[in-house]
Structure 1
Amino acid sequence: MLTRVLLALLMVSASVGASVRSFDGVEWKVESSRYDATLYWQLEPSVIVSFYKQAGLPVEFRLLAPNLIEKADNASLFIMSSPLKPYKNKEPVGEVLKSGRRMSDGRQIEFVGEVPKLLDAMSKGDWGVVELQMPSGVQNVLEVPAIDFLKPLQAFNDKRSVLPLLGWEQGKETTLHFDVSEYRLNSKNRQDLQDLVGLIAYDGEVTSIEVDGHTDLTGHRLNNLTLSQQRARAVQDYLMELGIDEELITAVRHHGQRYPVPDASHQENRRVEIRLFR
């Protein structure tokens, strides 16, 4: 049994085969902070459709609709043709299962993955649609119209284009990994540190950086202590090479094998941890 639930002024259920479309008052808005940007349409306080971009993470499609989501077993996101365009088959964008973390709170669904494809399609006049599968077999369909969408989308794209490559939540604790017996930085280590320095410059409020070197549990304890020191110093030197003031780096410590990550592999323990403080 298929029940259409259209995102209009209210969530409206129609009987099977009926068509209810009343999209007067559709107004997409944009909000942003230093580390995120949101393009959203709020039907009522508890029903919000949004595209969300956090610095350092992929853009997400979100649906906040507690009364529907808490009862659903799974949800699927599609691209569909608008009522004003010739019909075409739906194009899948993503799926969320109730057992998955993206639907676990029963209030909000978050789709990741091919969401940019949905944004691009809606910029060309297509719509989005969410299908919620209920335990009873009923399927609720929520349509997301691309009405008066282009200007808000451009504003959203402008906001997210200036976000840093790394967000504060991801960057405030950074871990670099090393090969066996190696202390020199590889290309990924260097790129991660470049992104971190970009975050520090963007944030402008970092008052302290701490660097801690570690090794795995193999090898001689004293040799590991020296190796962890070399790793920490390599990170310190590269941070300074990238323009970080030496006084901002308030601690450079080496621990050898004394603090292994619980239940971790040797690879995960060959590491340098960098912490930022405001």
Structure 2
Amino acid sequence: MHQPTFALLGLLLSLPATALTFQTRLEKAQWQVEGDQFECRLSQPVADFGSGEFVRKAGEQAIFRLSASERLLGQGQATLLAAAAPWQPGRGDINLGAVKVQLGSTPLATSETQAARLLTGLLEGRSPLVRHQSWQGDRTEVRLLPTHFAKAYAEFASCNTKLLPVNFEQIKRSQIGFADGVALDDLGQAKLDIILDYLKADPTVNRIQLDGHSDNSGNRLLNRDQSRRRAMAVFEYLKAKGIAEEQITLRFHGERYPLVPNNSASNRAKNRRVTITLSREPAAEEAPATAPNGEPAATS
């Protein structure tokens, strides 16, 4: 390293560390609730920074995240605290652990456990506090205030009761198992009903691909027929529930693409399945059909 570089580093290290706190004035602090069947949000704007918000997606628990209008936190780690209010003498801050800080408009997102503890702290009058320290020693803090939180939290809880049981990421590729034979059992129908409820709520998901599979217990022709009949069972169930036939693509593969080796009864049961793949993308042109692992599909 050249001597001027050492000199610059020494200068930086000799500069006094600074502390910067982002917090809305108490009289202006407010919580906002918005949401729908897919996501509920409970947020508080933070002056000159952006906002802090609890976000709960359908099928998941809430997380807490910061949204920033500018790059105000450096990449690295921050400490998350449920901080005691100044008017709560004798109460210490609760350290909820480290949180990764990354570049972008949403620099920080907590785990579900950390978010749950922040919510509990807010109900007790504590403040979510993010404390970030740069490698130069400069400290930046982002604090949300618990004022007027109870009423907003009740609205947030009410929004949560209207969320769908699953979100798109959770069901965009699903498996319907077949214990034996080709008939849908109660568990398979229950899984399909959950998918159908989502499809009714989100009409942008308009393509459904069904891939039928078998184990290797029969001969090749029998296995292909079993996989076809399983895919047809799912097809007929969806169709009977109002899904347009033209939205569904049906394929069957016999024993060609096992999930696990067919070397035990439990493994063979896992391979007797129909894979459901949901998509929002309309087909601009017909592409060659491919099987789940990218090989040409057997469709007839």
Fold similarity call, TM over 0.5: yes
Q: Which amino acid in 1 is paired with 2:33?
A: V
- In the alignment, what sits opposite 1:192? 191
- How far does residue 116 in structure 1 lie from its aligned partner after superposition? 2.0
SS of the residue corresponding to residue 43 of structure 2 reads strand
Change (3 A) 1:64 1:184: same
CA–CA distance in structure 1, aligned partners of residues 127 and 214 of structure 2: 52
Q: Which amino acid in 1 is paired with 2:275?
A: E
Q: For 1:124-169, what per-residue CA distance to the aligned partner results, in whole angstroms no more than 9, with x for missing partners?
A: 2122111223223444332221112122222222112201011234
Q: Which amino acid in 1 is paired with 2:254?
A: G
- In the alignment, what sits opposite 1:56? 59
SS of the residue corresponding to residue 37 of structure 1 reads strand
CA–CA distance in structure 1, aligned partners of residues 84 and 22 of structure 2: 16
SS of the residue corresponding to residue 141 of structure 2 reads strand
Q: Which amino acid in 1 is paired with 2:57?
A: Q
Alignment of 1:224-243 (within 5 A): 224-236=223-235
Q: Which amino acid in 1 is paired with 2:59?
A: G
CA contact (8 A) 1:212 1:255 kept: yes
Taking only the aligned residue pairs, the percentage that are identical comes to 24
CA contact (8 A) 2:42 2:55 kept: yes
- In the alignment, what sits opposite 2:72? 68
CA–CA distance in structure 2, aligned partners of residues 255 and 111 of structure 1: 42
Q: TM-score, normalised by structure 2?
A: 0.67
CA contact (8 A) 2:179 2:272 kept: yes
Which residue of 27, 39, 62 corresponds with 1:36?
39
CA–CA distance in structure 1, aligned partners of residues 186 and 63 of structure 2: 29
CA–CA distance in structure 2, aligned partners of residues 45 and 271 of structure 1: 53
State yes or no: 1:25 paired with 2:23. no
CA contact (8 A) 1:2 1:140 kept: no
- How far does residue 49 in structure 1 lie from its aligned partner after superposition? 0.8
- How far does residue 51 in structure 1 lie from its aligned partner after superposition? 0.8
- How far does residue 187 in structure 1 lie from its aligned partner after superposition? 7.7
Q: Which amino acid in 2 is paired with 1:88?
A: R
- How far does residue 63 in structure 1 lie from its aligned partner after superposition? 0.8
CA contact (8 A) 1:94 1:112 kept: no
Instruction: Choose 210-219 or 51-60, whichever is displaced more.
Output: 210-219
CA–CA distance in structure 2, aligned partners of residues 217 and 44 of structure 1: 63
CA–CA distance in structure 2, aligned partners of residues 135 and 196 of structure 1: 48
- How far does residue 43 in structure 1 lie from its aligned partner after superposition? 2.7
Alignment of 1:208-223 (within 5 A): 209-215=208-214, 221-223=220-222
CA–CA distance in structure 2, aligned partners of residues 277 and 179 of structure 1: 24
Which residue of 79, 88, 91 corresponds with 1:88?
91
CA contact (8 A) 1:228 1:254 kept: yes
Q: Please identify the structure whose Cα radius of gyration is greater.
A: 2
- How far does residue 52 in structure 1 lie from its aligned partner after superposition? 1.0
Q: TM-score, normalised by structure 1?
A: 0.71
Change (3 A) 1:144 1:168: same
- How far does residue 194 in structure 1 lie from its aligned partner after superposition? 3.4
- In the alignment, what sits opposite 1:17? none
Q: What is the aligned length?
A: 255
CA–CA distance in structure 2, aligned partners of residues 191 and 207 of structure 1: 21
Is there any run of 5+ residues in structure 1 with no aligned partner, and where? 10-21
Is there any run of 5+ residues in structure 2 with no aligned partner, and where? 1-15, 262-266, 281-300
CA–CA distance in structure 1, aligned partners of residues 122 and 82 of structure 2: 8
CA contact (8 A) 1:76 1:132 kept: yes
CA contact (8 A) 2:23 2:142 kept: no
- In the alignment, what sits opposite 1:6? 21
Alignment of 1:127-206 (within 5 A): 127-171=127-171, 173-176=172-175, 178=177, 189=188, 191-203=190-202
Instruction: Choose 47-56 or 29-38, whichever is displaced more.
Output: 29-38
CA contact (8 A) 1:93 1:113 kept: no
CA contact (8 A) 1:214 1:256 kept: yes
Change (3 A) 1:97 1:238: same
- How far does residue 73 in structure 1 lie from its aligned partner after superposition? 1.4
SS of the residue corresponding to residue 39 of structure 1 reads strand
CA–CA distance in structure 2, aligned partners of residues 2 and 31 of structure 1: 39
Instruction: Choose 81-90 or 180-189, whichever is displaced more.
Output: 180-189
